[in-house]
C-alpha cells in the first residue's frame, strides 16, 4: 500500500470546505471549517514541491558558500566549508535540517560581506540578495490565505 499525502490533504480540504467534517451549525463552525480546508489546500500545494524547493535552495546556498571561500576567513569559513557537504538524502526532514543550518550561515555570511569593501564582496552580496529573492519565489503558493 502506498500513502499519497497530497491526495489525502486535498480530499480532507474538500471535505472541510464542503462542511462534511464539521457540519456547520453556527457562523463560527462554518468559518473554522473553511479555514481548516484552506490551510489543508495550502499544505498540499507546499508539500508537493517541498523536496524540490529544499533541494534547489540547498544547492544554491552550497554554490554561494563555495564561491565565498576566498573572501571569508576564520570560524565562519570553517563552518561554511563543513556546510557545503550534503548528506545526499532526499528525505524532507534531512533537507529541512540542512536548509535550517545553512540559512543561519547564509545570514552570517551576508552580514560579513556587507562589512567588506572589495568588488568581489559586492558581487557576492548581489548573489546573496538574488538567492533571497529566488527563495521567496520558490515558496510562493498559488492559493493564498484568506
pLDDT for the residue numbered 29: 86
**Tens digit of pLDDT for each residue in 37-93?**
988 888 888 888 899 999 999 999 999 999 998 899 999 999 999 888 888 898 999
Q: Is 7 exposed, middle or buried (0-12, 13-18, 19+ CB in 10 A)?
A: exposed
DSSP 116: -
Residue 10 has pLDDT above 60, yes or no: yes
Return d(Cα 139, Cα 88) in angstroms, integer: 22
- Written as one string, the DSSP assignment of 58-96 is HHHHHHHHHHHTTT--HHHHHHHHHHT-------HHHHH
Residue 146 has pLDDT above 60, yes or no: no
pLDDT band, very low/low/confident/very high, at 101 (cuts 50, 70, 90): very high
What does the domain layout of the chain look like in residue ranges?
A: 5-138
Return d(Cα 121, Cα 90) in angstroms, integer: 32
pLDDT band, very low/low/confident/very high, at 144 (cuts 50, 70, 90): low
Q: Does the predicted TM-score (pTM) go above 0.95? A: no
Amino acid at each position: 500500500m502506498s500513502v499519497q499525502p497530497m491526495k489525502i490533504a486535498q480530499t480532507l480540504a474538500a471535505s472541510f470546505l464542503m462542511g462534511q467534517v464539521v457540519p456547520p451549525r453556527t457562523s463560527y463552525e462554518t468559518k473554522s471549517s473553511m479555514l481548516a480546508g484552506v490551510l489543508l489546500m495550502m499544505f498540499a500545494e507546499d508539500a508537493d514541491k517541498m523536496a524540490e524547493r529544499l533541494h534547489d535552495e540547498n544547492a544554491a546556498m552550497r554554490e554561494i558558500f563555495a564561491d565565498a571561500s576566498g573572501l571569508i576567513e576564520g570560524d565562519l569559513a570553517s563552518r561554511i566549508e563543513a556546510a557545503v557537504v550534503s548528506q545526499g538524502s532526499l528525505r524532507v526532514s534531512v533537507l529541512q535540517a540542512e536548509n535550517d543550518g545553512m540559512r543561519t550561515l547564509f545570514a552570517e555570511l551576508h552580514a560579513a560581506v556587507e562589512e567588506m569593501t572589495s568588488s568581489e564582496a559586492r558581487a557576492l552580496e548581489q548573489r546573496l540578495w538574488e538567492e533571497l529573492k529566488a527563495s521567496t519565489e520558490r515558496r510562493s503558493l498559488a492559493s493564498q490565505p484568506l
